[in-house]
């Protein structure tokens, strides 16, 4: 018998039978977990099993390889923070789909979990988009396809870094990149400097770059379709520029 308790965020749910749910949760201590919730579908529980809600769960199964059974309690109804904004709702669904598609089952993601936790805690702040962008940037790193932003790939210089190469994922200096600037991504200076108040243009530029590398180096590599909700998120950001 395997059993443990944890807490986390709901990133996927689907009906199973008349009243059951298959729930996928990104947990603090046990990574991404999928389990079955018995008698979850009723009027009393309508607001509990929503994407983004923070829950505590007791998980148990007879054997390690079996699907878990979950007993769930609601900690915070975060879903309500997204329902009045199409852009926030797109960010929520994008984050949930990326986590569900990219993260392995039952692998410790505690440090990465903190980025997601920050996103949910800051969703009502003016700079909530910045916290989402940090999530995507460090998702690349978690997947082993992080960018090398330390020095220019062409000259070795560590100053005047202005671009990132789509071919190598490495930084390019202003001088070396000038002839190719229309084919290069913008250097994410605010990420490097840990600045949480960049311009909307800087956030949009970063999401353009992370979309490219996630699609190229993960989704296409695994024969997966890049989430449409994620594409819509950046489209909405561009409209606001």
Q: Would you say 10 and 55 are in contact if contact means Cβ atoms under 8 Å apart?
A: yes
Those residues with Cβ within 8 angstroms of residue 136's Cβ, 6 or more apart along the chain or in another chain: 98, 206, 207, 210, 214
> Which domains are present in the chain?
2-80 (2.40.50.140), 84-149+188-239 (no CATH)
> What digits encode the pLDDT tens for the residues 40-97?
888 788 789 999 999 999 999 886 667 899 999 999 999 999 998 989 999 999 999 9
Query: For residues 205 and 210, what is the distance between their CA atoms, to the nearest angstrom?
Result: 9
Q: Residue 131 has what pLDDT?
A: 97
Q: Which residues contact residue 115 at a Cβ distance below 8 angstroms, ignoring those fewer than 6 apart?
A: 131, 134, 135, 138
pTM of the model: 0.92
Q: Percentage of the chain surpassing pLDDT 70?
A: 98
């Amino acid at each position: 018998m395997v059993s443990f308790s944890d807490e986390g965020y709901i990133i996927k749910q689907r009906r199973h039978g008349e009243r059951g749910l298959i729930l996928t949760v990104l947990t603090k201590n046990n990574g991404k977990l999928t389990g079955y919730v018995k008698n979850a579908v009723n009027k009393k529980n309508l607001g509990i099993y929503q994407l983004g809600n923070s829950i505590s769960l007791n998980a148990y199964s007879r054997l390690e390889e079996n699907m878990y059974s979950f007993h769930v309690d609601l900690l915070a109804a975060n879903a309500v923070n997204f329902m009045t904004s199409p852009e926030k709702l797109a960010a929520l669904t994008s984050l949930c789909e990326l986590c569900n598609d990219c993260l392995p089952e039952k692998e410790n993601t505690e440090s990465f979990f903190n980025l997601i936790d920050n996103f949910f805690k800051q969703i009502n702040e003016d700079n909530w988009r910045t916290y989402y962008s940090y999530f995507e940037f460090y998702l690349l790193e978690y997947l082993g396809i992080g960018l090398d932003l330390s020095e220019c790939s062409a000259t070795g210089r560590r100053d005047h870094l202005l671009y990132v190469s789509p071919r190598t994922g490495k930084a390019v200096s202003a001088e070396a990149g000038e002839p190719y600037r229309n084919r290069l991504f913008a250097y994410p200076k605010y990420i490097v400097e840990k600045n949480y108040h960049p311009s909307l243009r800087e956030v949009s530029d970063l999401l353009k770059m992370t979309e490219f590398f996630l699609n190229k180096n993960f989704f296409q590599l695994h024969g997966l379709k890049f989430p449409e909700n994620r594409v819509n998120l950046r489209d909405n950001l561009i409209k606001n520029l």
